[in-house]
Amino acid sequence: MNINRFVGAVVGVWIVRVALNWTFYAKIVGRQYANISSAHPGMFRTVIPAYIVTDLIFALAFAFLFVKAGAALGGGVKAGVILGLIVAVLSPIIGGLYQYYGVTYLPASLELAGAIFQLIAHAVEGAVAGLIYKSGPSLSAASPA
């Protein structure tokens, strides 16, 4: 593993993830969540620093998975997109379905919008990881890839 490209991929995925999450959850569906929160006080917490740290943890794990599995998926941006789609289905989309079936205050349209967003966001995050990790100069003679 080339540590410089790995760190670059982590930072790239982290920045893109924070920006995408803010855009979707604050600007696109934020009003819907505010309405639900008004109808069900105390149901939601908004802890922005914790969200950003959680996005960093995701970026570290995702970049590590990309480094380890990217070549098997074809390498580069294509591998990042494929890995992103797999991760999106296995984590937030399945989790969202459990959440939808487990609570009564989330409308199906909000869960569907979230699932579509997760597919798009994870594919973009994967593309960023693939672009940065693949295209970065190899600075380690022991790790040319």
DSSP string, 126-142: HHHHHHHHHHSPP--TT
Tell which wins on pLDDT, 53 or 102: 53
Is 31 inside a domain boundary? yes
User: How far apart (Å, rounded) are the C-alpha atoms in residues 4 and 136?
Assistant: 8
pLDDT tens track for 57-95: 999 999 999 999 999 999 999 999 999 999 999 999 998
Q: Is residue 143 part of a domain?
A: no
Answer whether residue 86 is part of any domain. Answer: yes
Confidence of residue 135 (pLDDT cuts 50, 70, 90): low
| Token code pair at residue 14 | 């982290």
Residue 53 has which token pair? 């740290």
Domain that holds residue 11: 3-135
Q: What is the pTM of this model?
A: 0.81
- Helix boundaries (H) for the chain: 3-22, 30-39, 48-69, 76-88, 94-102, 108-135
First-to-last C-alpha distance (Å) of the chain: 7
| Pick from 85, 86, 71: nearest CA to 134 | 71
Q: Give how many domains the chain has, as a whole number.
A: 1
Please check whether residue 96 lies inside any domain of the structure: yes
State the Cα–Cα distance between residues 30 and 132, nearest whole angstrom.
31
The reply to whether 91 falls in a domain is yes
